[in-house]
Amino acid sequence: MSTATYTVKGMTCGHCVSSVKEEVSEVAGVAAVEVDLTSGLLTVESDGPVDPAKIVAAVEEAGYDVADPS
């Protein structure tokens, strides 16, 4: 199991969290997604490596930005 974390900017409510979780969950290979509204922390678990660009694109599709896509 592989884990990656990202910081999402612009989330202000539970709906924001739901939108990010829904979009990131649809990325191929993603097994679990956790989003913390207070810190903006997005934790992605996957069975193998997932291209960070795909996670960033999913966050942007939800309408938010990733602070540091490293």
CATH class of 2-66: alpha beta
Q: Where exactly are the structural domains of the chain?
A: 2-66
pLDDT of residue 11: 97
Q: How far is 31 from 11, CA to CA, in rounded Å?
A: 22
**What pLDDT, in 10s, does the model give residues 1-60?**
899 999 999 999 999 999 999 999 999 999 999 999 999 999 999 998 899 999 999 999
pLDDT of residue 4: 95
pLDDT of residue 10: 96
pLDDT of residue 61: 97
* Phi and psi torsions of 5, nearest 5°: -125, 150
Q: How many residues does the chain have?
A: 70
pTM for this model (two decimals): 0.92
Q: How far is 20 from 36, CA to CA, in rounded Å?
A: 11
